[in-house]
Amino acid sequence: MIRKILRPILISIIQIVGLAIIHDCLNHFYPIQHKSVGFGLTIFYTEIIFILSIFAFNFYLEFFKKNIYLIAFFLLILVSIFPLNALEERPLRSLFLIILALCGFLSSLVLSKFKTKN
């Protein structure tokens, strides 16, 4: 039982750290020329919602197997709300945040399928 609880936590932490490293590396190589406070808040709130939703999704994948694609799509839309609001200011950065969230949910699905095959 402890293993079923620790596995989603560990997978979530690895995904969050990996996506944060990818975001920081790409932000280092392609910096934002004009930093606005509004987009910084967009990134902050997107990170918080992404962290909570990836934890919830990984726990859902560990204990339930129904409607996983619908839940993943709903959580992706939930995470994408703030970047979609900032799409007019910073279209490429907003798209980048949405793609990172998509990669996070897809990696959860791939890890779940790989785990069930073994």
Nearest to 54 by CA among 21, 84, 79: 79
Q: Distance between CA 72 and CA 58 in Å, rounded?
A: 10
Residues 8-24 as b/e (b if ≥16 CB within 10 A, e otherwise) read beebbeebbeebeeebe
Q: Distance between CA 28 and CA 22 in Å, rounded?
A: 10
Residues 98 and 80 sit within 8 Å (Cβ to Cβ): yes
The pLDDT of residue 37 is 62
Residue 38 predicted with pLDDT over 80: no
Give pLDDT tens digits for 79-118.
999 889 888 888 888 898 899 899 999 999 998 888 777 6
Residue 54 predicted with pLDDT over 70: yes
Q: Distance between CA 96 and CA 90 in Å, rounded?
A: 10
In this structure, what token pair is assigned to residue 31?
């910096």
Q: How confident is the model at residue 4 (pLDDT cuts 50, 70, 90)?
A: confident
Going from N- to C-terminal start, the domains of the chain cover 43-112
The pLDDT of residue 35 is 60
The pLDDT of residue 41 is 79
DSSP percent split of the chain into helix, strand, coil, nearest 5: 85, 0, 15
CA distances from 14 to 11, 18, 64, 96 (A): 5, 6, 21, 19
Give pLDDT tens digits for 5-26.
898 899 899 998 988 888 888 8
Q: What is the mean pLDDT of residues 39-53?
A: 86
